[in-house]
Amino acid sequence: MDPVLDVDGLSVSFPGPRGTRLPAVEDLGFAVRPGETLAIVGESGCGKSATALALLGLLPANAAATARRLRIAGTELSSADPRSSPEIWRRQRGGRIAMIFQEPLTALNPVLTIGEQVAEAVRAHELVSWRTARGRALDLLRRVRLPSPERCLEAYPHQLSGGMRQRVVIAMALACRPAVLVADEPTTALDVTVQARVLDLIGEIQRETRAALVLITHDLGVVADRADRVLVMYAGRAVETRHARDLFAAPAHPYTRALLAARPRPGWTGPRPRLAEIPGRVPGLAERGAAGCRFAPRCASVLPDCHTLRPGPRPVAGGEAACHRVAETTEPEEPARAACA
Amino acid sequence: MLTRNPDYWDKDKPYLDRIVFRVIPDAAARAAALEKGEVQYAAFSPVPLKDAERLRKLPTLALETRGYEWLSPWLFFDLNVDEPHLKDVRVRRAIAHAIDRRAIANIVWYGFGKPAISPVPSTLATFHDDSVPQYPFDVKRAEALLDEAGFKRGPDGIRFSLTHDFIPYGDDFKRTGEYLKQALKRVGIDVTIRSQDTAAFTRRVYGDRDFDIASAWFAAFSDPQVGVTRAYWSGWIGKNTPWTNGSGYRNPEIDGLIAKAQGEPDPAARVAIFKQFQQIVQRDLPSIPLIELRFFSLHAANLKDVVTRGDQIYGSLKNAWFDTETSARGTDPKSN
Amino acid sequence: MARATTGRRFWARRLAQMALVVLGIGTVNFFLLHLAPGDAAQVLAGESGSATPEYLAALRHQFGLDQPLPVQFGHYLLRLGTFDLGFSHRQGLPVAVLILDRLPATLLLMVASIGLAVLVGGALGFLAARRAGGVADALISSVALLFYATPVFWVGLMLTVVFAVRLDWFPVGGMRSVEASPSALATLLDVAHHLVLPATTLGLFYMATYTRLMRASVLDVQDRDFVRTARAKGLRSGRIARRHVLRNATLPVVTTIGVQVGSILGGAVLVETVFSWPGLGRLAFEALFQRDLNLLLGILFLSSILVSLANLAVDLAYARLDPRIGLQG
Amino acid sequence: MSGSFSSARVPLGLRILRRPSGAVGSVVLALVGLAALSAEIVRPGDPLDMVAAPFLWPGTESSYPLGTDMLGRDLAAGLLYGARVSLLIGVVATAITLGIGVGAGALAGFYRGRLDQALMRTTELFQTIPPFLFALAIVAVLQPSLTTITFAIGVTAWPSLARIVRAEVLALRDGEMVQAAIALGAGDARILLLHILPNVLGPVLVSASILVATAILTESSLAFLGLGDPNVVSWGGMVGAGREVLRTDWYVAALPGLAIVAVVLGLNLLGDALADALDPRRTRR
């Protein structure tokens, strides 16, 4: 079954000082099959949100996106810049590929009722009357298990809780049964108790609609639980793309290993170990030289080549990793336990 | 709006079917209305004087100065004779010499006025006396008189200061005040102009007498006794009765002449009385006649016989008629 | 879950507030005008050629101006309570009649000019924001600023000279043309024809405020998350602009209208003077110079009611536009 | 996503000049200021003096490049001295407005309670009386002169400023900074003056430039209605006088009109630049 979302060579840049362009995302490639969940994980500022927005052509006006190949739900997009063919991109958005945002409090229009905003999503792609659209909206609100959906139709966003609003956003995303769902940290703004239920809802919907899900997150726990495959990003580049089990079992890239090591072990009974840190900090947009591996300055097992030669992706069990060291050793780290709650 | 009264006593008059009175408070708007023909007749200098020259040249409009002789308006400065400096007649005469009446007539009033030499305007031919003492424009004479009166120029070149309240009837009078300020500045008198509304002006000049020089215009009407003597009769002083004796001039001889004229039946004797009256007041000069105002009205070129009757501008418009033939041909021979 | 119902407490508070403000106005005006030298009788006597002191005294007595100040003020407040605005001795008519006669003209002028300012200004502001940074944006912003910086009467005079006299498209002044128009429609058109220049003059000045306000507001709303959500839903840009951007961007504009009613009435004095529009602004100016105390107080009193009503209307409109605002008042 | 380029804090003045509106605004105001200062040097003597024939068109006579008005007064001198008067009226009136507005706003915002209610009711009262009509009444009552006009404009323009200041003070009052100052035992006056007011400076500065502009416009409107100070040459007065001869010699009213437009435009541009430069959200290089 060929992938429903197939991206290769995706780059996004922003205007820098004195007319230069600064790379936020560099030469990113990944594919997602129907029903499959790809988690994109990395520290904030690594370009994962830019990637998500690029997929829907929602980048701000001053951003520039390019890609060697961009196929979404069967449509081959000639360029990653939505302005090149606005009508095609418009039909994609909400129709074939939909997005779930991070901030439920501000994601909804305060002066329109929930019903209007959900029905609107239906009418954007299907020529149906308002009455039919409202009916569909009601079904969608039931589908996302909102309490008393009839009243929600007439309610305004400020009358709903954060979790309820996120369910509305999900309902809107589902409106036209998109083939690809992009969720940009969908639960970060919610409290923990609500998070799990929202993620379950998304998973349930994905199984039912066989949609491909791109899940943007910085929470490794969520990745371990929900993701089939994982793409680890660092400073705009993919450092490792693997099956989730293989990644947690034997992280190939030093950065991935450092990320996993930085997690607290709830079950640990021994003396409380000092949490491992990654020295230095993520390079700002302006400090990303083209040559060499971006993680080199902070890498514990850095090699001379790392500073000069950019490591290409090398095959590893269940995927690939971009690191000069990968060729020689892939000995497993101490066994990774099941992810925390 | 007035509509034609079919059974008017003066048969088959008035010729006009309807007269509509429109209230246009702004002078510029009045000028535009006349120019566009929305309005066909306007009296009492309805438009800014400068515009009048322009409008008179238009083929569709005619400017009419006749009709105001009955009114005979004259513009003058009242000098408060109780003011320490103006008490001295030499100072009053110096001020008269410092003022160029031709400049006021031609520059300040754009030619809509004639230099006046006596409070009895020349339009009252029988009573007007042009042999009254004259005060021609002579700055050196003015300075000499002021020195003679003992008001030398101070280190800053100023002899003394006065205030001037101009009659609040629009920009023309304000300009006259501004002219006075410059004229007296040349002879070392520093003038501060004060502007206020009508109520404050009349109370200040004719009631509280809290002023130095005030400007005003009176209508002399056809007989000095009707319009002129009120400015000099001492009975009115300080009674807060507007448009009377502002200067505060008290001269029993003048009061006597005024009373005599009221009882005098013989016209020739009344003329002699008023000639003597003019000689005295122009000698004492409590108020300085500046110019005889030439009011004008503007009317459509094809509107004829607007001003015909004795009471002239106040007359009814029963004789007025629209000459539709000539205006059709566009050329109107006798437009003045 | 429907919006907070309109509390009776809200209405009680607002009416009390209005009464207090109006009472304050009455006090301020009354003493302000008593500071002025001369009074209505003085003016009447002045304008009628000349008057004997006895006549003046009689006039004063008739106008009640000879009573001690506190008594006059007491009378005034008493009458204010019963909405009897007193008698304009100058015009020989009760103040209320005079005001009601001139009120429609001023309301028409204000509604037209605010309407023009908000609609045109808003549209231009919206356009400028959509093309932010472009030539259209720079052009619109500078033209708006230009009108904001130009004296209202100057614009009025210029428009009269060009459009009324030279091009003869519009009448020079007044509210109705001389010929009595037969049908109501003709009268309506005639008044509208007269209204164009004065409303444009007053409107252009306030248009600049709304252009700048709408532009800033649209720019702000455009970056909001829910607009991005709307785009993510694949809505057409026109719909996004109307339903999402514009609806939210108009909120601050509505509040500004309330605040500006007072200053527009002030602007009306100038425009009504230039175009001899028979409105309250001009009447107030004349009343001031004729020391017609009752008339002027009546107008200022009415203007305060007008402003309070406008603010009330704005609050109601705002509550309808923005569901988050209940009517706690 | 895109990192912000937070470089060292660029001085306010530089940030204003960097913005196009700030640059143009400052240049215009500098020119007007220069004109006001150099009046004596460029055109010695009294601008109200009748120095030449009336109605000389600009450019017709070399010694009077901008021509003369209906009384033969030199328009160039009028504009130069007029700049001084207009700026004087604008600045002093705004100072009065700032005094009352900031005072009322700060006290209302800081002390809240009955004082706040009382001040806010007065603000509302002043806001319901049309400001121009109110200024008109004051000037007509107290006889038009430089002082009465300035006072009238100043006293009728403060309500909107009071509201802005009150809002700012209310926001700051509950901030940690103020709580910390209280904790250190600072008295109310100290807190208000040293901590709160400096932070309110931004919005006050912005509205100050707009207030000066409005004051100059109001003065010209008063002069247009015949309520200008007759002893002083002011742009508003010149436009008012020029109105009478508008149809024939429109330059008499046009030139001072343009001067007013220039200053008000300059002030507004400066206001925009200030607002932009001081707005924390849009701190650019």
| Helices and strands: H and E segment counts in chain B | 11, 13
Q: Which of D54, D241, D245 is the closest to B107 by Cβ? A: D54
pLDDT tens per residue across span B204-244: 898 889 999 999 999 888 888 888 888 999 988 888 888 88
> Could you tell me if B51 and B178 lie in one domain?
no
B101 against C75, higher pLDDT: B101
The model's pLDDT over B277-308, given as tens digits with 9 standing for 90+, comes to 999 999 999 999 999 999 888 888 888 888 77
Q: How far is A43 from chain D (nearest CA, A)?
A: 11
Rounded to the nearest angstrom, the gap between the alpha carbon of residue C265 and the centroid of all alpha carbons in its chain is 4
CB contact under 8 A, C285 and D225: yes
Helix, strand, or coil here: D69? coil
Q: Band of the pLDDT at A341, cuts 50, 70, 90? A: very low
Q: Looking at the partner chain, which of B24, B35, B199 has a beta carbon nearest the beta carbon of C43?
A: B199
Say how many domains are in chain B: 2
pLDDT confidence tier of residue B309, bands split at 50, 70 and 90: low
Q: What whole-number distance in Å separates Cα of residue B205 and Cα of residue C154?
A: 34
pLDDT of residue C6: 57
Q: Are the beta carbons of D189 and D224 closer than 8 angstroms?
A: no
Domain count, chain A: 1
- Percentage of chain A exceeding pLDDT 90: 29
Indicate whether B194 and B238 sit together in one domain. Answer: yes
Closest residue, chain B, to C286 (C-alpha): B25
Looking up residue A196, the CATH number of its domain turns out to be 3.40.50.300
Q: Please report the pLDDT score of residue A334 as a whole number.
A: 42
Report the C-alpha gap between C216 and B13 in whole angstroms: 68
Indicate whether D47 belongs to any domain.
Answer: no
Contact B38 C172 (CB under 8 A): yes
Contacts of D127 in chain C (CB under 8 A): 259, 262, 307
Note whether A247 and A316 are within 8 A (CB): no
Judged by CB atoms closer than 8 Å, whether chains meet at D49 and B182 is answered as yes
Report yes or no: D243 and B29 within 8 Å, Cβ to Cβ: no
Neighbours of chain D (3+ CB pairs under 8 A): A, B, C
D6 close to A (CB below 8 A) = no
What's residue A268's pLDDT? 65
Residue A12's beta-bridge partner residues?
Answer: A25, A65
With touching defined as 3+ CB pairs under 8 A, do chains A and B touch? no
Domain limits for position C187: 105-289
Question: Is A166 among the domain residues?
Answer: yes
Instruction: Inform me whether the C-beta atom of residue C78 falls under 8 Å from chain D C-beta atoms.
Output: no
Whether the CB-CB separation of A57 and A82 falls below 8 Å is answered with yes
Q: What length does chain D have?
A: 285
Q: What is the pLDDT of residue A16?
A: 83
Concatenated DSSP letters of D94-151: HHHHHHHHHHHHHHHHHH-HHHHHHHHHHHHHHHHS-HHHHHHHHHHHT---HHHHHH
Whether chain D has a CB inside 8 Å of the CB on C135: the answer is no
Q: H/E/C letters for each residue in A61-121?
A: CCCEEECCEEEECCEECCCCCHHHCHHHHHHHECCCEEEECCCHHHHCCCCCCHHHHHHHH
Closest CB to B107 among D46, D72, D227: D72
Partners of D74 in the beta sheet? D68
Location of structure tokens 């290089």: D285
First to last CA, chain B: 29
- The answer to whether residues D157 and D123 touch, using CB atoms and an 8 Å cutoff, is no
Q: Are residues B227 and B244 in the same domain?
A: yes
Q: For position B259, which CATH number holds?
A: 3.10.105.10
* Residue corresponding to tokens 């060291």: A325
A327 within a domain of the structure (yes/no): no
Closest A-chain CA to C246:
A111
Strand B61-64 versus strand B303-304 pairing type: unpaired
- DSSP 3-state assignment of B191? strand
B278 and B210 within one domain: yes
- At B141, the pLDDT band (50, 70, 90 cuts) reads very high
Interface size B-C, in CB pairs within 8 Å, comes to 101
Interchain contact, D1 vs A22, CB within 8 Å: no
CB C128 within 8 A of CB C210: no
Smallest Cβ distance to D230: which of B48, B177, B179? B177
Q: Which of B139, B175, B182, B186 to mutate to test the interface with D (most CBs of D within 10 A)?
A: B182
**Residue B211: CB atoms within 10 Å:** 20
Contact by Cβ (8 Å): D181, D190:
yes
Q: Is C284 on the interface with D (CB under 8 A)?
A: yes
**pLDDT above 50 for A335:** no
- C19 to chain D: nearest residue by CA? D125
User: Looking at the partner chain, which of A56, A120, A156 has a beta carbon nearest the beta carbon of C323?
Assistant: A156
Model confidence at A80, pLDDT cuts 50, 70, 90, reads: confident
Cα–Cα nearest to C288, from C60, C32, C21, C12: C32
DSSP code at position A335: P
Which tens digits make up the pLDDT trace of D128-169? Answer: 788 888 888 888 777 788 899 999 999 988 988 898 888 888
The dihedrals phi and psi of C169, each to the nearest 5 degrees, come to -85, -30
Q: Mean of the pLDDT values across residues C242-257?
A: 88
pLDDT for residue B327: 46
> Token pair 């309240």 is at which residue?
B165
Which residue segment(s) compose the domain that B54 sits in? 2-66+295-335
One domain for residues B286 and B215? yes
Please name every residue paired with B190 in a beta bridge, in sequence order, or none if there are none.
B161
Give the ipTM of the model, two decimals please. 0.73
CA gap C31, C293 in Å, rounded? 10
DSSP result, B168-182: SS-HHHHHHHHHHHH
Domain total of chain D: 1
Count how many domains chain C has: 1
Sign of CA dihedral A87, A92, A95, A99: negative
Is chain A adjacent to chain C, meaning 3+ CB pairs within 8 angstroms?
Answer: yes
Q: Are residues B315 and B328 in the same domain?
A: yes
- Which pairing describes strands A97-100 and B213-219: parallel, antiparallel, or unpaired? unpaired
Nearest to C53 among B28, B36, B240 (CB): B240
Nearest by CB to residue C232, choosing from A58, A91, A158, is: A58
d(CA C106, CA C184): 20
D19 domain residue, yes or no: no
Buried b (16+ CB within 10 A) or exposed e, A207-245: eebebbbbbbbbbbebbbbbbbbbbbbbbbbbbbbbebe
Q: Tell me whether C83 touches chain D (CB under 8 Å).
A: no
Q: Which two tokens stand for residue B59?
A: 């083929």
For chain C, how long is the longest CA-to-CA vector? 85
C175's enclosing H/E stretch is none
C226 touches chain A (CB under 8 A): yes
Asked if residue C245 is part of any domain, the answer here is: yes
Locus of tokens 């690809």: A180
Q: Which tokens hold the place of C115?
A: 């309407």
Cβ-contact B213, B76 below 8 angstroms: no
Taking the CA of residue A191 and the nearest CA in chain C, the distance in Å comes to 20
Give the least confident one: A14-18, A216-220, C41-45.
C41-45
User: C243 lies in a domain?
Assistant: yes
pLDDT at C285 over 50: yes
**pLDDT at position D54:** 87
User: Is residue A340 pLDDT above 70, yes or no?
Assistant: no
Burial of B23 (0-12, 13-18, 19+ CB in 10 A): exposed
Q: Which token pair is C35?
A: 């500071």
Work out whether strand A314-316 and strand A237-243 pair parallel, antiparallel, or are unpaired. Answer: unpaired
Can you give the pLDDT at residue C280? 87
Taking 60 as the threshold, does the pLDDT of residue A190 lie above it?
A: yes
Count the residues in chain B: 336
C190 falls within a domain: yes
CA torsion through residues A143, A144, A147, A148, sign: negative
D12 in any annotated domain: no
In a domain, A258, yes or no: no
Interface of D to C at Cβ within 8 Å reads 121-122, 124-125, 127-134, 136-138, 140-142, 160, 213, 217, 220-221, 224-225, 236, 239, 243, 246-247, 250, 253, 257, 260-261, 264-265, 268-269
Q: Which residue of D has its CA nearest to A282?
A: D3
The answer to whether C270 touches C282, Cβ cutoff 8 Å, is no
The string of pLDDT tens digits covering residues D220-271 is 888 888 788 888 888 888 887 887 787 788 888 888 888 888 898 888 888 8
B168 and B45 share one domain: no
What pLDDT sits at residue C187? 84
- A131 lies in some domain: yes
Coil, strand or helix at B219: strand
CATH code of the domain in which C150 resides: 1.10.3720.10
Co-location of B152 and B6 in the same domain: no
Rounded Cα–Cα distance for residues D20 and C295 (Å): 49
Question: Cα(C160)–Cα(C167) distance, rounded to whole angstroms?
Answer: 10
Reported as a single tens digit per residue, the pLDDT across C4-46 is 455 677 788 878 877 777 778 777 777 776 776 666 677 676 6
Rounded Cα distance, A166 and A143, in Å = 13
Are A54 and A65 contacting, i.e. CB atoms less than 8 angstroms apart?
yes
CATH number of residue D161's parent domain: 1.10.3720.10
Say if residues D42 and D83 touch (Cβ distance below 8 Å).
Answer: no
**Spatial separation of the C-alpha atoms in residues B94 and B144, rounded to whole Å:** 8
pLDDT (tens digit per residue) in A134-184: 999 999 999 898 989 999 999 999 899 888 999 999 999 988 889 999 999
| Mean pLDDT, range C72-85, rounded to an integer | 74
Give the least confident one: B12-21, B156-165, C30-39.
C30-39
Domain hosting D95: range is 25-39+68-283
Per the prediction, chain B carries an average pLDDT of 87
Q: Take residue D151 and report the two structure tokens written for it.
A: 């006072």
Residue type, C80: L
Count of C-beta atoms within a 10 Å radius of residue A162:
15
Per the domain annotation, does D215 fall within a domain?
Answer: yes
Output the pLDDT for position B326. 54
pLDDT of residue D280: 64
- Interface with chain A: mutation pick from C233, C235, C245, C325, highest number of A CBs within 10 Å: C233
Q: What pLDDT, in 10s, does the model give residues B173-197? A: 989 999 999 999 999 999 999 888 7
Give the single-character DSSP code of C5: P
Please compute the mean of the pLDDT values over residues C239-262 and round it to a whole number: 86
Cβ neighbours of residue B150 closer than 8 Å, sequence gap 6 or more: none
Token code pair at residue A25: 């995302």
Burial grade of A267 (CB within 10 A; 0-12, 13-18, 19 or more): exposed
Strands (E), chain C: 87-88, 93-94
Domain CATH for B319? 3.40.190.10
